[in-house]
Structure 1
């Protein structure tokens, strides 16, 4: 019999399959949206052009410039654009930056979002929003920003460079792993997180051999969806708080920062949840979770040190001091190891 728990699942309509981009206009119509603001990352502009044409008279306007960590000025401009065109809904095509900008609009305007992810951030499955101002990243949770519909088309990520793919998978794996040790973690989120980690590892190893394989790309989208679902229910903890500090204050690349920090936080936090640790180790085919993550990222050529991302050792120490001042948690050892890129102890 499982331990007592309370689980909160968040509902989104999920459509996955090759060619499902063709269904976006119909999915928008199901929501009753007749004035659509389209947001797309630069790499997704060709796909956005197809969606724009399919929307016909429902197309209201478009934003093609997005920035990671959602700077406040970008969020304000996007909100103004939504008001200007009289938007009644949003389509976001691209990675976490495009979806994050859509969330910034929905937070104040309460517009439904149809998300079409082209990477594996998992943001599309969560009610978590973020915004950066003056070097500080603020995050929050609000059901208004949870996309109503998520359309996963593996064709859109088929040509995603391996470097970007691997870093994005590291981001998704961080969602899976941390979802097992937060205060709100429960047996259901644990099962979702473990299956997500299995699919992500399998898909990543597949694309390293065959980058355009649609089955592999589908596996990664499936894993990313589960990762986002687990994070949405379990919330975030030490790992994500650290990454938000590093990204918001020092403008480090979001996905790669996860890869550098996750193995070091896992070394400290995973022993607190031995059952989940063992299940994740089985899913990732390793005898030590922290070292297994580090080795997987190394195999995929994702940077595993903050030094490689351009953070100086002095800034790393400064970040640890700032984090402790704000939270009371000493992370000096974690960040020192993450800066140096040390393989976690405890593995052969």
Structure 2
């Protein structure tokens, strides 16, 4: 069969090296010629941010970071950036921190240098997300794509083992969703498959030994590939579900993705055989769902949405919000009843089985 597809590669500089974050950031700020830098880092990551940014002068340090980026928090941060005359944003932290920097960049055009401390992947995409009135809205805007990403596996040591697993499975969700997302193509499918391989290997290493440097590097490398694939392929069924659960019910981002992933994979895989084969091969398994669940078992991954505050009574409402958001290109037809069944299984932590 002839290959026909339309692929856009995002332009971004990536600096990768364990123990090199401070050195690379200092050099990058000088290269960009920035004079008035705003450093964004959550209060609990202040010590890490101080170390990473020790070689630069910060005009303002901002720590009012909240998950899912409430619009009112974004507007306050935008005002600080404009009032200070900021010409570069440096964000040090996870997805919420990167998300706030993106919210500023979206309206101001100020460039971003991102220094991730988790496996969230937001730093490698041009996707933004804001929450307003208990509804999370996402979109695509090239202004929010960080100009440079500085990866340093040493910065992920601050992540406890459980959060490392959840954050890594969030990255894995980018890979798997990219296999059948609206703009999927052979290039991002190849990146996603390599991302799955690296994440599966790296997460097993990190879970067995939190000080496993090679495992952390592989996980961080896989998370980057996952994000690049996701940025190209777009947001599929999995992400639409998780954005509603996070934005409307304030569920924790990484744990929600880690829990929901196996249910969406079990739902879609039988209707996307080529994608399912790619996923299975990346897991070195005979079956996509089997390979994913074997990894989840090895990692003792999050199992049930009820463990994170989601109420069974909210399932009908959640399904009604999710259904209109599911891409028409999803490989399996989706109904309100199907979403309710999926959410109920994920709420309870039941084995993800969906009949053809």
Matched position secondary structure for 1:150: strand
- In the alignment of these two chains, the number of paired residues is 345
Work out whether 1:93 is the aligned partner of 2:101.
no
Matched residue, 1:11: 11
Q: Structure 1 stretch 16-25 or stretch 231-240: which is displaced more?
A: 16-25
The CA distance in 1 between the partners of 2:220 and 2:42, in whole Å, is: 18
**Cα pair 1:159 1:212 within 8 Å, conserved:** no
- In the alignment, what sits opposite 1:37? 38
Per the alignment, residue 233 of structure 1 pairs with 232
When the two structures are superposed, what TM-score results if normalisation uses the length of structure 1? 0.94
**1:28-107 mapped onto 2 (5 Å cutoff):** 28-56=29-57, 59-107=58-106
After superposition, where does 1:120-135 map in structure 2 within 5 Å? 120-135=119-134
Deviating 4+ runs (over 2 angstroms):
41-44, 50-53, 270-273, 285-288, 290-299, 321-330
Report SS of the residue matched to 1:55. coil
Over residues 145-198 of structure 1, what are the superposed CA-to-partner deviations in whole Å (9 max), with x where a residue is unaligned?
Answer: 000100001111123210110000111000000001012100000000000011
How far 1:2 moved relative to its partner? 5.1
Shift of 1:326: 6.1
Residue of structure 2 equivalent to 1:252: 251
Taking the aligned partners of 2:142 and 2:50, their CA distance within structure 1 comes to 29
Q: Which runs of 5+ in 2 are unaligned?
A: 327-333
Aligned residue number for residue 265 of structure 2: 266
SS in 2 for 1:241: helix
Is 2:347 aligned against 1:339?
yes
In the other structure, the counterpart of 2:159 is 160
Instruction: Tell whether the 8 Å contact from 1:181 to 1:270 is kept in structure 2 after alignment.
Output: no
SS of 2:56's equivalent? helix
- Answer whether contact 2:280 2:286 (CA < 8 A) is retained: yes
SS in structure 2 at match of 1:11:
coil
1:295 to partner: Cα distance = 3.8
Normalising by structure 2, we get a TM-score of 0.92
Q: Offset of 1:270 from its aligned partner?
A: 2.2
Kindly state the Cα deviation for residue 212 of structure 1 after the two structures are TM-superposed.
1.2
CA separation in 2, counterparts of 1:121 and 1:324?
25
Q: Offset at 1:332?
A: 1.6
- Tell me if the contact between 1:264 and 1:344 (Cα under 8 Å) persists in the aligned partners: yes
Quote the offset at 1:335 in angstroms: 1.1
Q: Give distance in 1, aligned partners of 2:325 and 2:123.
A: 29
Q: Is the Cα–Cα contact under 8 Å of residues 129 and 137 in structure 2 kept in the other structure? A: yes
Moved more, 166-175 or 336-345: 336-345
Can you give the 5+ residue segments of structure 1 that lack an aligned partner in the other structure?
none
Please give the root-mean-square deviation of Cα atoms over the aligned residues, in Å. 1.8
Say if 1:238 and 1:325 are closer, same or farther in 2 by CA, change over 3 A. Answer: closer
Contact 2:240/2:325 (8 A) holds in 1: no
